[in-house]
């Protein structure tokens, strides 16, 4: 899996943010090539093939464009397994025509292959400092969480509350320790940062308690995500990484297919989902708000004049 | 740029659209990437004209199965650096 920290330096070790713009663009092209080369390697292909053979169901995530929220990395899942839907603040509405079409097409394709769909609907926050939370929701974690439950209701309205084929679940993401926080169907919450690898044997029972209406096979699919996150959290706790990172995004990305660019402090990524597509271009994005005195636009952070 | 965290010589607008199959699917992706880049460039150009002078525009299409990004300079001359 790509190490985003290393890849944010050029070949001679210069931090990307300090380079002239043309060199940064050159680095971007090279980074894209490195990512696709790695993705196409035999090792990566075999890892994906093995994973899909063992866990055939589909996993999608709905999440904020914030580069810290990288579910494959924090669950130690091979690239290319989890299908992400990203937008500013993790804001979605299944009534948006394009988003609805994309999701429905995906679910129908997967169902036609005899597979189920697990959808992780995420919000994010920091337990150490609210200002490291989701600025797309004005650092209001309750509002962000409420929004994810609304998306869950919309998923159930479209794909049924029976949950035998599509299971949408709400999942918090605590960015200080990269911890998933699972919201059970009965309101119970499981913060994976409170578990350790010694709890692995108890995980099936914990998931059965959280999601009693989830098909057994789908719960089996969740186990590697949960175990992977517990291992990742342990690594993060030992790493003493810097949490108060200044935002230095230097590109605005619009569209889909930015998995290779999902890293902190490089890009503001806007999904093409909302029918009011200009709004997220004009409005402040979650990750640039902390450095932005005015609420005018993401552009204010780039702009020379306030 | 304003507070010196990145050089003030420009920023990048990158539009990218994915495709799964060659033929129609890829052709649609090419059309969509052109639309998205021009749409975003126009919003930035009309709302933030001074900033638009520092905008470098690139577009690309993204092959899901290989993760290959085919980058290209946007043909839209107004906003291309």
Confirm whether B63 is domain-assigned.
yes
What share of chain B in percent tops pLDDT 70?
84
In this predicted structure, the answer to whether residue A6 has a pLDDT above a threshold of 50 is no
Looking at the complex, does the CB of residue B76 fall below 8 Å from at least one CB of chain A?
no
Confirm whether B62 is domain-assigned.
yes
Looking at the complex, does the CB of residue A21 fall below 8 Å from at least one CB of chain B?
yes
Looking at the complex, does the CB of residue B73 fall below 8 Å from at least one CB of chain A?
no
pTM metric for this prediction:
0.86
> What is the rounded distance in angstroms from the CA atom of residue A113 to the CA atom of residue A56?
10
Please tell me the predicted confidence (pLDDT) of residue A244. 64
Q: With the C-alpha atoms ordered A302, B2, B7, B9, is the resulting torsion angle positive or negative?
A: positive
Q: What is the average per-residue pLDDT within A13-23?
A: 79
Q: What is the average per-residue pLDDT within A277-282?
A: 86
Q: How confident is the model at residue B3 (pLDDT cuts 50, 70, 90)?
A: low
CATH of domain A59-239: 3.40.1050
Which of A52, A255, A256 to probe the B interface (max B CBs under 10 A)? A255
Range of the domain at B69: 22-79
Confirm whether B8 is domain-assigned.
no
Task: Give A60 to chain B, closest Cα distance, Å.
Answer: 15
Confirm whether B15 is domain-assigned.
no
Please give the structure tokens belonging to residue A236: 């993060």
In this predicted structure, the answer to whether residue A4 has a pLDDT above a threshold of 60 is no
- Going by C-alpha positions, the residue among A80, A77, A28, A217 that lies closest to residue B11 is A28
Please tell me the predicted confidence (pLDDT) of residue A10. 56
Confirm whether B59 is domain-assigned.
yes
In this predicted structure, the answer to whether residue A3 has a pLDDT above a threshold of 50 is no
- What stretches of A24-106 adopt beta strand conformation (E)? 58-64, 82-87
Task: Give A142 to chain B, closest Cα distance, Å.
Answer: 31
> What is the rounded distance in angstroms from the CA atom of residue A77 to the CA atom of residue A60?
13
Report CA dihedral (A229, A232, A237, A243) to the nearest 10 degrees: -90
Please tell me the predicted confidence (pLDDT) of residue A216. 94
> What is the rounded distance in angstroms from the CA atom of residue A14 to the CA atom of residue A5?
12
What share of chain A in percent tops pLDDT 90?
64
Total domains in chain B come to 1
Looking at the complex, does the CB of residue A44 fall below 8 Å from at least one CB of chain B?
no
pLDDT tens figures, A222-266: 999 999 999 999 999 998 787 766 667 899 999 999 988 877 778
Looking at the complex, does the CB of residue B4 fall below 8 Å from at least one CB of chain A?
no
In this predicted structure, the answer to whether residue B22 has a pLDDT above a threshold of 50 is yes
Task: Give A36 to chain B, closest Cα distance, Å.
Answer: 5
pLDDT tens figures, A29-57: 999 999 999 999 999 999 999 999 999 99
Indicate the residue of A246, A260, A305 with minimum beta-carbon distance to B67: A260
> What is the rounded distance in angstroms from the CA atom of residue B44 to the CA atom of residue B52?
6
Instruction: Give the ipTM of the model, two decimals please.
Output: 0.90
């Amino acid at each position: 899996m790509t190490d985003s920290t290393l890849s944010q330096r050029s070949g001679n070790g210069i931090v990307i943010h300090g380079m002239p713009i043309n060199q940064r663009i050159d680095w971007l092209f090279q980074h894209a090539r490195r990512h696709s080369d790695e993705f196409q390697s035999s090792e990566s292909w075999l890892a994906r093939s093995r994973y899909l053979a063992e866990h055939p169901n589909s996993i999608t995530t709905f999440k904020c464009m914030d580069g810290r929220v990288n579910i494959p990395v924090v669950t130690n899942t091979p690239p290319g397994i989890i299908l992400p839907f990203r937008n500013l603040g993790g804001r979605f509405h299944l009534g948006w025509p394009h988003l609805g079409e994309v999701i429905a097409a995906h679910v129908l394709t997967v169902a036609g292959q005899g597979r189920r769909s697990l959808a992780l609907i995420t919000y994010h926050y920091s337990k150490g400092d609210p200002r490291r939370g989701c600025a797309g929701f004005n650092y209001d974690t309750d509002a962000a969480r409420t929004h994810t439950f609304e998306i869950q209701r919309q998923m159930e309205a479209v794909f049924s509350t029976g949950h035998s084929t599509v299971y949408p679940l709400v999942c918090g993401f605590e960015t200080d320790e990269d911890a998933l926080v699972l919201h059970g169907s009965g309101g119970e919450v499981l913060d994976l940062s409170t578990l350790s690898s010694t709890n692995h044997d108890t995980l099936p029972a914990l998931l059965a308690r959280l999601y009693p209406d989830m098909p057994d096979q789908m719960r089996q699919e969740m186990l590697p995500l949960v175990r992977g996150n517990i291992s990742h959290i342990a690594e993060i706790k030992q790493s003493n990484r810097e949490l108060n990172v200044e935002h230095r995004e230097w590109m605005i990305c619009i569209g889909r297919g930015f998995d290779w660019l999902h890293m902190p402090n490089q890009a503001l990524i806007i999904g093409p989902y909302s029918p009011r597509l200009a709004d997220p271009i004009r409005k402040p994005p979650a990750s640039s708000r902390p450095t932005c005195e005015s609420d005018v636009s993401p552009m204010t952070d780039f702009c020379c004049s306030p | 740029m304003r507070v010196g965290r990145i050089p003030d010589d420009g920023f990048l607008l990158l539009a990218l659209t994915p495709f799964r199959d060659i033929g129609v699917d890829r052709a649609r992706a090419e059309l969509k990437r052109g639309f998205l880049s021009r749409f975003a460039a126009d919003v930035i150009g009309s709302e933030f004209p001074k900033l638009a002078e520092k905008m470098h525009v690139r577009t690309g299409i993204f092959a899901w199965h290989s993760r290959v990004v085919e980058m290209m300079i946007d043909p839209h001359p107004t906003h291309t650096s």
